[in-house]
A and B are shown apart, each in its own frame.
Chain A
Amino acid sequence: MVSEGPYTHQAADTAWNFASAAIAAGHEVMRVFFYHDGVYNATRLTEPPQDDRHIVNRWSALKEQHGVDLVVCVAAALRRGIKDEVLAPGFRISGLGQLIDAGIKADRTVTFGD
Chain B
Amino acid sequence: MAPDLRERVGERRPDDRLVEHHVGARVARAAHERLVVARHDDDARPPARDIVVRGHLRGLPAAARGDDVDALGVEQQPKHFTDVGDVLDEEHPEPLARRISSPILHTLFSPSTTGEADAEWVRSGRALTRPEGRWSTGSLVNTALKRTPLYESHVKAGARMVPFGGWEMPVQYAGIVEEHRAVRAAVGCFDVSHMGEFEVEGPQALASLQRLTTNDVAALEVGQVQYSLLCYPDGGIVDDLTLYRLAPERFMLTVNASNIDKDWSWVREHGAAARWRNVSDDTGLIAAQGPKAEALVGRLADRDVTGIAYYHFAEGRVAGIRTLISRTGYTGEDGFELYVAAVDTPRLWSALLEAGRGDGVVPIGLGARDTLRLEMRYALYGNDIDATTNPLEAGLGWIVKPAKGDFVGRDAIEKVRVPGPRRKLIGLEMADRSVARHGYAVTTPVASPTVGREGAPTANTIGIVTSGSYGPSVERSIAMAYVASAQAAVGTELGVEIRGQVRPARVVKTPFHPSRVKK
Q: Do the two chains bind?
A: no
